Amino acid sequence: MNRSDTAGEAVHRTPVLIVGGSLVGLSTSLFLGRLGVPHTLVERHAGTSIHPRGRGNNVRTMELFRTAGVDGRIARAASVLADNHGILQTPSLVGDAGEWLFREIDPGGGLARFSPAGWCLCSQNDLEPVLLECARELGGDLRFHTEMMSFEQDPEGVTARVKSRETGEHTTVRADYLVAADGPRSPVRERLGIGQNGPGDLFHNVSVTFTSRDLADVVGDRRFIVCYLTSPDADGALLPVDNRENWVFHAPWHPEHGETLEEFTDERCAAHIRRAVGVPDLDVKITGRAAWHAAERVAERYADGRVFLAGDSAHEMSPTGAFGSNTGIQDAHNLAWKLAAVLGGWAGPGLLESYDAERRPVAEATSARASSRSVEHSHPGYTPAPEAGGPGGRKGGILNVALAYRYPRGAVLGADAATPVVPEGVALNGEPGSRAPHLWLTRAGERISTLDLYERSLVLLSSDTGAWHAAATEAVAGLPVPLDSHRIGTGPGADLVPAPGADWAAAHGVTPDGAVLVRPDGFVAWRHEGPAADPAKTLREAVTAILSRG
């Protein structure tokens, strides 16, 4: 909404201003749009990414996109890489040398025990247009080729000045809150004086896009996500774009030794690729190049007043494992429901303080794991210090990092503060602070996952024979708090019927007389293992505390 201020200048008013229109900014817009929160996004570039990068969308991210109703469109955009699964490490692609670090993302289909979603390879240049289209369909005011020039905040909101890079026109934007998704060199973070912790720069690569009609024949039926080529004089990482003639090669770059980007000529890049692949006369046509820097840094804090950091502005991670973009998208989801709750009047402003308390420890643990994975994969250009990788460790692969991370502190009650943020295994058993368990249910004849219940409100799960469902309405009486209560069972009072043999209560760590309260982001906020003397009072106290309504 626009109106004039006292000086006669037009002021654009919006509840949330998002700065940055890449994956995290667009995801923030998508999630806010799903929750009915008006917002404006500004992005200095004229359009979405044109470079094929950031392709790995993990299972938790795909759960979020599933809930947002966009997973089908993403799957169509990602169809060309649907059969690519493994990671190969080899001296060259000629012959049978080398080893598979793993052949399948989900060997044996075991992931189905934990989630209704799966991993998805969708390059950033294919994913961003989908998110842009969906966000606009939901009413998002997305302004590309528009740059934020400055901002100031006060106790009531944020005032920003933005400029159209197309027309030169300046606009004043007044927002209740600002979300900075403006990248690793975040001007917003710098303006706020927020420092960063961590080892800093890890290594540097040049990402080279090229075409080769004959490379597909050399690759054969090896459908890898990435192939680490380890020839001592031409190492690098090869990634398919379409498995036919479009490819990406990550070549090591050493600016610390005085090497400049100008030295990466078409001729040098083509020769390097030919040596790495092991085919001296391979047809290679260079189509583009872009430098990128791998680093491990996490912001000292994720918020300053009414301004919040998300994505690369809050954390930088090694690209190995694709943790960075996924962590950023999950930042956006965590923040979106809390902004919606506060702006909607059903949570106190203190709820927003839990964003830093929950997401920053996740980034610290995940960035350490990403560095460890770069060591394990011998990522081209990375020569780590002996202690590199930090506390992330192996910890059972990556599913525990991607799906089973915890919030020991934040908008939860009853979480064990001593619990590691990233546990050693995958145990999704209803503990407060963990992602709620996935179970298949039937609702009005339709098969759904428990995860399909969580998006716009708090959700209470209890048995069809207990007292909690009746108490739910009384618990929020007089409060503007959306609370959906579901009765699970096989009796006439049940609105959710579990799959045969499934025990919803045991899966959530309660008895059939207990109850579980789940947040809009699908994380368990609180649970009561059995009956309560006064269930309405007990539930009301929990809701009030979680939403900072005290």
What does the pLDDT look like over 475-489, one tens digit per residue?
Answer: 999 999 999 999 999
When pLDDT is cut at 50, 70 and 90, the band that residue 396 belongs to is very low
In sequence order, the 6+-apart residues with CB closer than 8 A to the CB of 446 are none
Mean pLDDT over 460-482 rounds to 95
**Spatial separation of the C-alpha atoms in residues 317 and 201, rounded to whole Å:** 10
In sequence order, the 6+-apart residues with CB closer than 8 A to the CB of 527 are 414, 430, 431, 432, 508, 509, 510, 514, 515, 516, 517
Domain 198-295, CATH: 3.30.9.10
Mean pLDDT over 345-357 rounds to 98
The percent of residues above 70 in pLDDT, for the chain, comes to 94
Asked whether 308 and 177 are in contact (CB, 8 A), the reply is yes
Chain segment 196-227, per-residue pLDDT in tens? 999 998 889 999 999 999 999 999 999 999 99
**Spatial separation of the C-alpha atoms in residues 223 and 245, rounded to whole Å:** 14
Mean pLDDT over 161-182 rounds to 97
**Spatial separation of the C-alpha atoms in residues 200 and 197, rounded to whole Å:** 8
pLDDT number for residue 86:
86
Residue entry with tokens 């505390």: 545
**Spatial separation of the C-alpha atoms in residues 125 and 26, rounded to whole Å:** 13
Name the pairing type of β-strands 315-316 and 285-299. Answer: antiparallel
> In the structure encoding, which two tokens stand for residue 511, read together?
């008895």
Predicted confidence (pLDDT) at residue 472 exceeds the cutoff of 80 = yes
**Spatial separation of the C-alpha atoms in residues 148 and 78, rounded to whole Å:** 32
pLDDT number for residue 389:
41
> In the structure encoding, which two tokens stand for residue 461, read together?
């799960």
> In the structure encoding, which two tokens stand for residue 524, read together?
């368990």
pLDDT number for residue 385:
56
Asked whether 523 and 435 are in contact (CB, 8 A), the reply is yes
Predicted confidence (pLDDT) at residue 146 exceeds the cutoff of 70 = yes
- Nearest-10 crossing angle of helices 323-343, 353-376: 170
Mean pLDDT over 321-344 rounds to 94
When pLDDT is cut at 50, 70 and 90, the band that residue 107 belongs to is confident
Mean pLDDT over 59-69 rounds to 97
**Mean pLDDT over all residues of the chain?**
92
Domain layout of the chain by residue ranges: 2-197+296-403, 198-295, 440-546
364 in helix, strand or coil?
helix
When pLDDT is cut at 50, 70 and 90, the band that residue 468 belongs to is very high
Q: Where are the beta strands (DSSP E) in 135-195?
A: 141-144, 146-154, 157-164, 170-180
**Spatial separation of the C-alpha atoms in residues 379 and 70, rounded to whole Å:** 33
Q: Where are the beta strands (DSSP E) in 167-230?
A: 170-180, 196-211, 224-229
Name the pairing type of β-strands 10-19 and 39-43. Answer: parallel
Beta-ladder partners of 158: 153, 175
Predicted confidence (pLDDT) at residue 5 exceeds the cutoff of 70 = no
pLDDT number for residue 378:
60
**Spatial separation of the C-alpha atoms in residues 400 and 340, rounded to whole Å:** 29
Distance (Å) of CA 518 to CA 129, 203, 421, 522, 547: 32, 41, 19, 6, 12
Beta-ladder partners of 381: none
Residue type, 294: A
Predicted confidence (pLDDT) at residue 354 exceeds the cutoff of 90 = yes
257 in helix, strand or coil?
helix
When pLDDT is cut at 50, 70 and 90, the band that residue 150 belongs to is very high
**Spatial separation of the C-alpha atoms in residues 509 and 431, rounded to whole Å:** 7
Lowest mean pLDDT among 5-14, 311-320, 478-487, 504-513: 5-14
Asked whether 298 and 292 are in contact (CB, 8 A), the reply is no
Lowest mean pLDDT among 29-43, 81-95, 429-443: 81-95
Predicted confidence (pLDDT) at residue 104 exceeds the cutoff of 50 = yes
Instruction: Choose among 432, 539, 438, 421: nearest CA to 479.
Output: 539
How many residues does this entry show for the chain?
Answer: 550
Torsion of CA 155, 159, 160, 164, to 10 degrees: 160
Asked whether 398 and 373 are in contact (CB, 8 A), the reply is yes
pLDDT number for residue 101:
85
Predicted confidence (pLDDT) at residue 394 exceeds the cutoff of 60 = no
pLDDT number for residue 380:
65
Domain 440-546, CATH: 3.40.30.120
Query: At the top level of CATH, which class does the domain 2-197+296-403 belong to?
Result: alpha beta
Mean pLDDT over 19-30 rounds to 98
Chain segment 417-456, per-residue pLDDT in tens? 988 999 988 989 999 999 999 999 999 999 999 999 999 9
Mean pLDDT over 265-269 rounds to 96
**Spatial separation of the C-alpha atoms in residues 527 and 292, rounded to whole Å:** 45
Q: Where are the beta strands (DSSP E) in 216-284?
A: 224-229, 236-240, 246-253
pLDDT number for residue 43:
98
Instruction: Choose among 408, 254, 228, 379: nearest CA to 317.
Output: 379
Name the pairing type of β-strands 515-518 and 524-528. Answer: antiparallel
